[in-house]
């Protein structure tokens, strides 16, 4: 038997950063995101030779290990190891022998929730293989716990839920660690228009989101008024974005993207760069209504909203930069798992 899974990457439309501790713990957070037809995929091939083979195709990395109850976390494919370690521990399993192959449609550090989505995909493959009693909320929470608690990786809570549930979701984070996922029911014609008017632009720059997020978290710990107020505005924007999308006010969506971007840059140093500022100024001068970096900032993907009649001018403005416009469609499905006979 061969086991497969895939989980979709997401773009953050509003509220990003308010899902990060300690802000979400103290004040509660809210985000609005949407998943795309770009995926993290995992394949498990069971073995019986006492070995574990980990293959990350994007990184051209292969590791062969002895089958043990705990795999050393040493900087080599730690996400894969972290999921395995927690599965063995939580379900009190004997060491497993298998080959795990992972693949991502975008590069790490691109701002689409890559690491969290990959973790959800890997968990999904183990759930399918071992018939583990985990529902969607369980998988998302387990993915968060593996990254933030076991592996000590800085980051927020939205990506794990977006990847697991899929679709356009308004997600609230409460001080008691409760998370509520609210799927938005949006008319198909509005989704098509949003999809057509929203450009996904890869800046071809990567960044280590953890460093930006650590600064952001420290600003909250130090009670820095300017960054905290910016996060308050971003949370408010998530509620406003929910209302705009729900009633088909797509120009309002673009305007909120711009408002959110101006506030997001106040949360921590490094969220924007001189190159990102140049790109943003160019598309706004060409007629875009708004945009922002997706994810923690510093690089990766930008989303840009422009009315159809000015889209060509904005695309022309983007062509002067080294990045790449990515084709995409919104996807409604979250984590998918299945098996096939060898």
Q: What's the pLDDT at 208?
A: 60
> Does residue 271 contact residue 212 with C-beta atoms inside 8 Å?
yes
The 10s digit of each residue's pLDDT in 15-62 is 999 999 899 999 999 999 999 999 999 999 999 999 999 999 999 999
> Does residue 43 contact residue 6 with C-beta atoms inside 8 Å?
no
Residue 182 has phi, psi (to 5 degrees) of -110, 100
pTM: 0.95
Active-site residues, by number, are 159
Q: What's the pLDDT at 196?
A: 97
The 10s digit of each residue's pLDDT in 149-207 is 999 998 889 999 999 999 999 999 998 889 999 999 999 999 999 999 999 999 987 65
> Which own/partner contact pairs does 315-323 have at CB distance under 8 Å and 24+ positions apart?
315/199, 316/286, 317/282, 317/283, 317/285, 317/286, 318/199, 318/201, 318/279, 318/282, 318/283, 320/282, 321/203, 321/275, 321/278, 321/279, 321/282, 322/203, 322/204, 323/201, 323/202, 323/203, 323/204, 323/279
Q: What's the pLDDT at 175?
A: 83
The 10s digit of each residue's pLDDT in 275-299 is 999 999 999 999 999 999 987 777 8
The 10s digit of each residue's pLDDT in 198-227 is 999 999 876 566 677 787 778 888 888 898
Q: What's the pLDDT at 271?
A: 84
Query: E-assigned strands of 47-160?
Result: 51-56, 61-66, 98-104
Residue 180 has phi, psi (to 5 degrees) of -120, 125
Q: What is 2-185's CATH number?
A: 3.30.230.10
Question: CA-to-CA distance for 322 and 203, rounded, in angstroms?
Answer: 7
Q: What's the pLDDT at 209?
A: 63
Q: What's the pLDDT at 224?
A: 86
188-326 CATH choice from 3.30.300.30, 3.30.70.890, 3.40.50.2300, 3.40.50.880: 3.30.70.890
Domain boundaries, the chain: 2-185, 188-326
> Does residue 287 contact residue 316 with C-beta atoms inside 8 Å?
no
CB within 8 A of 286, min separation 6: which ones?
A: 306, 310, 313, 314, 316, 317
């Amino acid at each position: 038997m061969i086991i497969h899974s895939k989980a979709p990457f997401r773009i953050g439309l509003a509220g990003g950063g308010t899902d990060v501790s300690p802000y979400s713990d103290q004040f509660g957070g809210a985000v609005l995101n949407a998943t795309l037809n770009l995926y993290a995929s995992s394949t498990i091939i069971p073995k019986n030779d006492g070995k574990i083979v980990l293959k990350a195709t994007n990184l051209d990395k292969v590791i062969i290990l002895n089958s043990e109850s705990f795999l050393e976390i040493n900087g080599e494919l730690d996400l894969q190891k972290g999921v395995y370690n927690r599965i063995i521990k939580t379900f009190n399993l004997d060491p497993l022998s298998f080959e795990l192959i992972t693949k991502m449609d975008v590069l790490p550090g691109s701002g689409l929730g890559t690491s969290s989505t990959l973790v959800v995909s890997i968990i999904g493959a183990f759930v399918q293989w071992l018939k583990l009693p985990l529902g969607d909320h369980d998988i998302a929470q387990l993915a968060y716990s593996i990254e933030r608690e076991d592996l000590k990786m800085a980051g927020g809570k939205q990506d794990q839920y977006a990847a697991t549930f899929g679709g356009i979701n308004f997600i609230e984070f409460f001080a008691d660690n409760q998370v509520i996922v609210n799927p938005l029911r949006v008319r198909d014609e509005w989704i098509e228009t949003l999809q057509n008017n929203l450009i996904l632009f890869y800046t071809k720059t990567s960044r280590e989101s953890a460093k930006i997020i650590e600064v952001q978290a420290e600003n909250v710990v130090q009670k820095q008024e300017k960054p905290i107020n910016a996060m308050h505005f971003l949370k408010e924007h998530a509620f406003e974005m929910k209302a705009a999308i729900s009633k088909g006010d797509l120009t309002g969506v673009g305007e909120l993207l711009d408002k959110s971007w101006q506030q997001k840059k106040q949360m921590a140093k490094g969220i924007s760069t001189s190159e990102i500022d140049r790109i943003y100024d160019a598309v706004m001068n060409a007629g875009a209504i708004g945009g922002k970096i997706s994810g923690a900032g510093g690089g990766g993907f930008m989303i840009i909203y422009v009315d159809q009649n000015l889209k060509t001018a904005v695309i022309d403005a983007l062509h002067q930069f080294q990045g790449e416009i990515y084709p995409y469609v919104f996807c409604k499905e979250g984590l998918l798992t299945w098996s096939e006979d060898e």
